[in-house]
Amino acid sequence: MDAKEIFKEWQNATNLPDYLRDQLDTLGKDEKWVEDAFGQDINFGTAGMRGRLEPGTNRINLFTVGRVTEGLARLIEENGEEAKKRGVAISFDSRYHSREFAEHAARVLGAHGIHVYLFDDLRPTPELSYAVRHLHTFAGINITASHNAKQYNGYKVYGEDGAQMAPEHADRLFSYAQKVTDIFGVKAAPVKELRANGTLQLIGEDVDEDYLNELKQVTVDPEMVKANADKLKIIYTPLHGTGKMLYDRAFRQGGFDNVIPVPSQSIIDPEFPTTIKPNPEYRDVFEPGFKLANKVNANVIIATDPDADRMGAAVRKSDGDFQVLTGNQIATLMAYYLLAHLKENGKLTSDYEIVTSVVSSALPFKIAKDFGIKTKHVLTGFKYIGEEVDRMKKAGDAKFLMGFEESYGYLFKPFARDKDAMQGALMFAEVASYYASRGMTVFDGLQEIWKKYGVAYEITRAIEMPGIGGQKKMAELMSKLRGEHLTEIGGHRVLKIQDFLKKETIENGESTPLEGFPESNVLKYFLDDETWVALRPSGTEPVIKAYVGVNKKDIETAEKSAEDYQKALADLLK
């Protein structure tokens, strides 16, 4: 069936809620929209499915949520009665329709007799990851579009290890979902019935308690934190989302008594009214925090995104202004602190390991090597970091120190297996406390690291390619570049290319196999001035991501060079 026919089916459906029917009537006047919203099924990417909250098979709505949950139900059924009994934990964030979708997913699973643990209210993503492990469920669902704009929602699926489902399983789930021919006929049992027969169980405070208890392990030097408590004032913002549920207790039990929330951003609100996108990457989300910090004379601002898996921070410089740090810089500070702490306490052993993605900063690895510990690169997607934690546990060949991604994700203690902004916030607060104890700001700390190891500076840019045409364009651009074997970028010689799709490394015109990674549409180039650049279509947004990482003597040269490289990449993508 083509897009127009499917659109007609939706028009004729008898069970569309009014808000979807209204949207269908208005948006449906635009043929291009119809083509985009009905021309394909919404895909499963880096983090499950994500899309605009609109009617359509290529959108997020009650019906696409129902269909994918039906796919999950069939995957669980295939694994037998035990899997059904273990069931699924479900959480949701502060977005429009999140609660409704979570409940709908519970009802669809319930109709298959699959046990469901549904959070009674919004909760952070890492708490769901923790709940899956803690309750030994077979899977987890989280209704969230993370840091995307308010028009979006999404559906993340977790495997029994608490990490986002690995591609093999996710593909299977998706293929089951696609076998659902009548998207309007997916069965959903009534909540009342499921509550009465015990299939649907609400969870909340009980899991909070246990998760908060685990969070206590994150702080590595509680005494130092305690001794410097009065030197540190932290501003915290949950950006209108789930971080609000736990931050207060988490900070307090960690010994951080001086944490002041940003009032306007502590209101749970799907409009995210104080932001354009509730993403701690962007300076604008910190504006209310800056004002408050100036008023109460605080030096550190910590922000978590609406589902509290990403954590960003801004720190005061000596001129009084705030610097918004990148995810890479935050991870660098954390890695240095953790290693220095282990060393000072005579606890540093060479079997510690840091894991990060191939598009994240090289500096934490440089530091790790200097301290003599192991490092491991994985593809983008925190689930791959989760897999490494499992590998270390099973093989017993390494101790997990931390995992991080440039996209503001960090994990220290693997009781959660997704990036955990609560853990990130606690660790960053501890880093701030460490520098305060030395009479320094966090920004001074970063400069100290740069002085020792050189300035690593990274910029990630997203080049938008929306719509169905966009997918095609991204595929064409990537395959064109792949075929070209570039020898020069931005006036610099390419020394080596890593092609993660063809799984080959090209160096001096010779190709050797690139082992140890699943296939992925990523190209990474290493240049003659210690710069690396990478290109990949995002798995969560209709964009190609262009990554640049330079190594220079000072930050000014680094910033300029990184900008120049970004321009060169933008030209390549024209």
Ligand X SMILES: O=P(O)(O)OC[C@H]1O[C@H](O)[C@H](O)[C@@H](O)[C@@H]1O
Footprint of ligand X (CB under 6 A): 46-47, 146, 380-382, 405, 407, 409, 538-541, 545
User: How many C-beta atoms surround the C-beta of residue 222 within 10 A?
Assistant: 13
Report the residue number, 36 or 307, with the smaller CB distance to ligand X: 307
Which lies closer to ligand X via its Cβ, residue 259 or residue 522?
A: 522
Pair type for strands 504-507 and 492-499:
antiparallel
The H-or-E segment that residue 551 falls in is strand 543-552
Closer CB to ligand X, residue 146 or residue 326? Answer: 146
The pair of structure tokens assigned to 43 is 């895909």
CB of 536 to ligand X, least distance (A): 7
From the number of C-beta atoms within 10 Å of its C-beta (0-12, 13-18, 19+), residue 38 rates as: buried
Q: Which positions are catalytic? A: 146
Tell me how far, at minimum, the Cβ of 31 lies from ligand X, in Å. 29
Minimum gap (Å) between residue 327 Cβ and ligand X = 9
∠ CA 49-54-56, nearest 5°, is 75
CB of 146 to ligand X, least distance (A): 5
- DSSP for 181-248 reads --TT------HHHHHHTTSEEEESHHHHHHHHHHHTTT-S-HHHHHHTGGG--EEEE-TTSGGGGTHH
- How many alpha carbons fall within 13 Å on the CB side of residue 385? 30
Query: Is the Cα torsion angle 57, 11, 271, 90 positive or negative in sign?
Result: negative
Closest separation in Å from C-beta 299 to ligand X:
28
Nearest CB to ligand X, comparing residues 125 and 137 = 125
- Is the four-CA dihedral 193, 194, 195, 198 of positive or negative sign? positive
Q: Could you tell me the smallest distance in angstroms from the CB atom of residue 384 to ligand X?
A: 8
The Cα–Cα gap between 563 and 95 comes to: 34
CB of 370 to ligand X, least distance (A): 26
Measured from the CB atom, is 50 or 233 closer to ligand X? 50
Neighbouring residues of 482: CB distance < 8 A, sequence distance ≥ 6: 499, 501, 502, 523
Q: What is the DSSP letter of 426?
A: H
Max Cα-Cα span within the chain: 70
Structure tokens at 72: 């999950």
In the complex, the smallest distance separating the C-beta of residue 208 from ligand X, rounded to whole angstroms, is 22
Strand pairing report for 300-304 and 311-316:
antiparallel
Dist. CA 335–CA 440, nearest whole Å: 18
Closer residue to ligand X, CB minimum distance, 126 or 255: 126
Contact indicator for 521, 478 with CB cutoff of 8 Å: yes
CA distances for 343 relative to 198, 347, 368, 475, angstroms: 52, 6, 12, 47
HEC sequence for 111-180: HCCCCEEEECCCCCHHHHHHHHHHCCCCEEEEECCCCCCCCEEEEEEECCCCCECCHHHHHHHHHHHHCC
Q: Which is nearer to ligand X, 382 or 526 (CB)?
A: 382
Between CA 400 and CA 411 the distance in angstroms is 10
CA dihedral 136, 142, 147, 153 (to 10 degrees): 170
> What minimum distance in Å lies between the beta carbon of 472 and ligand X?
18
Residue 48 vs 255, nearer CB to ligand X: 48
Q: Would you say 375 and 368 are in contact if contact means Cβ atoms under 8 Å apart?
A: yes
Nearer to ligand X, 538 or 566 (CB): 538
Can you tell me which residue has the tokens 């590998």? 391
Q: Determine contact, residues 90/102, Cβ cutoff 8 Å.
A: yes
